[in-house]
């Protein structure tokens, strides 16, 4: 039996089992529109036996209640505030006006672990919070590595909420002090807010965490809600950095733990070491924690020797994820201009040794760039062509991965060249030579017919991208409709012209290299897509 058959049988069973209650939904939606308020989530079960028992119990309570005084009963059972605790476990505690617990709800699996078999109904809020924090510590959710907790008091009465928030924040802060580490408590009071309800519901998080993330997103403008929603409170606390004032309503006690990371000092050492700078000669040094592409990073900026540097260092393992170096315009040094570059005499005809010396010489004495002309000649030499052979020449000064280089592109003799020449040393960092698909030999300035006749024997007939794709698809055993991220490029590999085809289908990444003339599959790879 195939997977698909198994899935189909399961789907069929659930399809048959799902009830048709659309009429009931429609009538409830309409009564809502007509202004009748109905409590959807508290809707009674339609016809279970248990439902009837509750109904009977409710009726009984009502009768007894009216005898004893309905008001007293209601005030006892009215939820006046919801206190949520977020670490990674998120727990909601509902209390009445006397701060007696009406219910404790775990919102995720971690929270269910924390809660275990404990029952807090009727307990005081203090006892409940104390027990829950204790359980979080015991279960390792709050630890030396991740010490932050978010406390949110959700109530209509903002003034009372703020008092309760402060009291609980102090209590939790004391509970988290121990010999090994101290905690970090973020606390806030939140009131009714429709947008917050939707955010919390959509992402399945507490309103408190939704509020914290919303404020972070609004502040930075660099992150999206989606990106931050999976972060722990400790990570969010670190993102907020030292400047907690940016939050409107969030108070902060203690410092978020950075012990899970390499630390700002080590990150600084890595960045400076990479540049070869010592601490004393660096200016305007700044280091912030940030979250990019799914990982925590140290974002480091500084000025050194006339350049602005910008580093992203992986906070967990110290890898340099990105390094940028840019000329500091404010720095009082000779700026690089195109006139200066072109002032260097064109060295195409010089012997190779002279050119190399000309290139090396300035870099030994100063940090000046070699100039575009020297870079160009190096590129031409590497390609084995002369100035007269080349067309579509383009040169740009670029900076990437901590290195400054001239990026030089040109075409010559039916090939496209792409060279990167180090701007200080003249070293060839990268040299790419690719067949130029648009190339027509220089003699072909004659009418189109002659053109076709002449090029035919030189350029063998290729099978075409569509044929190549269908060869790949049939080899993979999938149809075009199942495929995403399809790319197809004509390329030359080991002297063979072929179509390089990559795509995703199901849980796999595929890569093919198909001979452009024979259609033979030269390479095929199938990898699980992580």
Partner 1 sequence: MLPVYLMSVSGLQPTMKDDELDECIARIALGNRDALSQLYYEVKSAVFGFALSILKNAQDAEDVLHDCFISIHNSASSYHSAGKPMAWIMTITRNLCYMKLRADARHRERHVDIPDEDWDSHTELSTTLSNEDRMIIAECLGGLGEEERQIVVLHAVSGMKHREIAAMLELPLPTVLSKYHRALKKMKEYFERGDEQNEASGYRKKNQASF
CB atoms within 10 A of CB 267: 24
- 78 touches partner 1 by CB under 8 A: no
Q: Note whether 169 and 85 are within 8 A (CB).
A: no
- 61 touches partner 1 by CB under 8 A: no
Cα–Cα distance for residue pair 134/45, rounded to 1 Å:
37
- The single residue among 61, 102, 428, 497 that binds partner 1, judged by CB under 8 A, is 102
> Pick from 485, 475, 490, 493: which is nearest to 509 by CA?
485
Q: Note whether 118 and 134 are within 8 A (CB).
A: no
- 3 touches partner 1 by CB under 8 A: yes
Quote the least distance from Cβ 190 to partner 1, whole Å: 18
- The single residue among 34, 46, 265, 495 that binds partner 1, judged by CB under 8 A, is 46
Between 142 and 181, how does the x/- string for binding to partner 1 read (CB under 8 A)?
Answer: ----------------------------------------
Cα–Cα distance for residue pair 320/327, rounded to 1 Å:
20
- 5 touches partner 1 by CB under 8 A: yes
Q: Which is nearer to partner 1, 44 or 523 (CB)?
A: 44
- Altogether, the residues listed in the chain come to a count of 530
Q: Note whether 257 and 144 are within 8 A (CB).
A: yes
* H-run or E-run covering 364: helix 352-365
In three-state secondary structure terms, 40 is coil
Q: Which is nearer to partner 1, 19 or 477 (CB)?
A: 19
What token pair was written down for 367? 């940090």
- 48 touches partner 1 by CB under 8 A: yes
Query: Which of the residues 207 through 226 are near partner 1 (CB under 8 A)?
Result: 226
Quote the least distance from Cβ 156 to partner 1, whole Å: 20
Contact window for partner 1 (CB under 8 A) among 46-54, 61-69, 151-159, 420-428: 46-54
- 11 touches partner 1 by CB under 8 A: yes
Quote the least distance from Cβ 66 to partner 1, whole Å: 21
Q: Read off φ and ψ for residue 184, nearest 5 degrees.
A: -130, 120
- 9 touches partner 1 by CB under 8 A: yes
Query: Which of the residues 493 through 512 are near partner 1 (CB under 8 A)?
Result: 507
> Pick from 498, 499, 474, 473: which is nearest to 488 by CA?
499
> Pick from 202, 238, 212: which is nearest to 151 by CA?
212
Between 227 and 246, how does the x/- string for binding to partner 1 read (CB under 8 A)?
Answer: ---x----------------
Quote the least distance from Cβ 112 to partner 1, whole Å: 9
Helices (H) and strands (E) in the chain, counts: 17, 18
Contact window for partner 1 (CB under 8 A) among 4-12, 141-149, 369-377, 413-421: 4-12
- 22 touches partner 1 by CB under 8 A: yes
Between 191 and 210, how does the x/- string for binding to partner 1 read (CB under 8 A)?
Answer: ---xx--x--xxxx------
Contact window for partner 1 (CB under 8 A) among 21-29, 60-68, 402-410, 459-467: 21-29
Cα–Cα distance for residue pair 362/202, rounded to 1 Å:
61
Quote the least distance from Cβ 526 to partner 1, whole Å: 15
The DSSP-derived string for 7-19 is HHHHHHHHHHHS-
Total binding residues toward partner 1, as defined by CB under 8 A: 56
The DSSP-derived string for 224-293 is -HHHHTTS-HHHHHHHH-S-GGGSSS-EEES----TTS--HHHHHHHHHHHHT--GGGEEEEEEEEEEET
Q: Which is nearer to partner 1, 54 or 68 (CB)?
A: 54
- 37 touches partner 1 by CB under 8 A: no
- 481 touches partner 1 by CB under 8 A: no
* H-run or E-run covering 504: strand 496-505
- The single residue among 35, 47, 293, 332 that binds partner 1, judged by CB under 8 A, is 47
Q: What is the DSSP letter of 505?
A: E
Quote the least distance from Cβ 74 to partner 1, whole Å: 17
Quote the least distance from Cβ 482 to partner 1, whole Å: 12
- 34 touches partner 1 by CB under 8 A: no
Q: Which stretches within 281-351 are classed as H helix? A: 338-343
- 15 touches partner 1 by CB under 8 A: yes
Query: Which of the residues 104 through 143 are near partner 1 (CB under 8 A)?
Result: 105-108, 121
Task: Name the burial class of residue 164, with classes exposed (0-12), middle (13-18) and buried (19+) by CB atoms within 10 angstroms of its CB.
Answer: buried
By DSSP bridging, strand 148-155 and strand 184-190 are: parallel
Quote the least distance from Cβ 13 to partner 1, whole Å: 4
Residues 6 or more apart whose Cβ sits within 8 Å of residue 525: 509, 510, 511, 512
The residue ranges that bind partner 1 (CB under 8 A) are: 1, 3, 5-22, 24-26, 28-29, 32-33, 40-43, 45-48, 50, 54, 102-103, 105-108, 121, 194-195, 198, 201-204, 226, 230, 507, 528, 530
């Amino acid at each position: 039996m195939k997977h698909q058959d198994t899935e189909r049988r399961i789907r069929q069973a659930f399809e048959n089992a799902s009830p048709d209650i659309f009429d009931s939904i429609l009538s409830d939606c309409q009564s809502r529109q007509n202004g009748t308020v109905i409590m959807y989530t508290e809707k009674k079960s339609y016809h279970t036996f248990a439902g009837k028992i509750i109904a009977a119990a409710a009726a009984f309570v009502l009768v007894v209640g009216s005898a004893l005084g309905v008001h007293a009963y209601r005030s006892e059972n009215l939820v006046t505030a919801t206190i949520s605790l977020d670490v990674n476990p998120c727990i909601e505690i509902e209390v009445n006006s006397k701060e007696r617990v009406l219910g404790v709800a775990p919102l995720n699996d971690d929270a269910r672990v924390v809660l275990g078999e404990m029952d807090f109904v009727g307990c005081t809020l203090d006892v409940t919070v104390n027990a829950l924090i204790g359980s979080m510590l015991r279960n390792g959710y709050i630890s030396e590595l991740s010490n932050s907790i978010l406390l949110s008091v959700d109530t209509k009465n903002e003034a009372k909420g703020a008092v309760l928030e402060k009291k609980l924040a102090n209590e939790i802060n004391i509970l988290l002090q121990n010999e090994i580490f101290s905690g970090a408590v973020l606390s806030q009071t939140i009131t009714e807010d429709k947008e917050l309800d939707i955010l919390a519901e959509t992402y399945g998080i507490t309103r408190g965490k939704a509020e914290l993330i919303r404020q972070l997103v609004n502040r930075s403008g660099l992150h999206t809600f989606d990106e931050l929603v999976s972060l722990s409170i400790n990570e969010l606390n670190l993102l907020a950095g030292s400047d907690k004032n940016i939050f409107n309503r969030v108070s902060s006690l203690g410092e978020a733990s950075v012990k899970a990371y390499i630390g700002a000092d080590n990150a600084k050492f890595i960045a400076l070491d990479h540049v070869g700078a010592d601490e004393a000669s660096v200016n305007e040094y700044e280091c912030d924690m940030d979250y990019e592409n799914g990982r925590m990073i140290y974002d480091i900026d500084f000025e050194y020797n006339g350049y602005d540097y910008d580093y992203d260092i992986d906070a967990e393992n110290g890898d340099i994820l990105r390094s940028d170096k840019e000329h500091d315009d404010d720095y009082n040094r000779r700026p690089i201009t195109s006139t200066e570059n072109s002032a260097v005499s064109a060295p195409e005809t010089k012997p190779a040794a002279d050119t190399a010396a000309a290139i090396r010489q300035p870099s030994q004495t100063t940090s000046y760039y070699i100039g575009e002309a020297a870079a160009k000649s190096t590129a031409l030499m590497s390609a084995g062509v002369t100035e007269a052979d080349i067309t579509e020449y383009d040169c740009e000064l670029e900076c990437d991965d901590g290195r400054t280089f001239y990026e030089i592109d040109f075409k010559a003799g039916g090939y496209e060249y792409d060279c990167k020449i180090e701007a200080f040393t003249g070293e060839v960092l990268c040299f790419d030579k690719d067949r130029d698909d648009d190339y027509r030999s220089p003699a072909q300035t004659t009418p189109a017919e002659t053109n076709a006749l002449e090029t035919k024997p030189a350029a063998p007939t290729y099978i075409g991208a569509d044929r190549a794709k269908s060869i790949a698809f049939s080899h993979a055993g999938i149809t075009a409709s199942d495929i995403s991220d399809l790319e197809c490029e004509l390329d030359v590999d080991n002297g063979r012209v072929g179509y390089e085809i990559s795509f995703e289908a199901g849980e796999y990444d595929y890569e093919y290299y198909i001979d452009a003339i024979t259609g033979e599959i030269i390479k095929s790879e199938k990898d699980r897509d992580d």
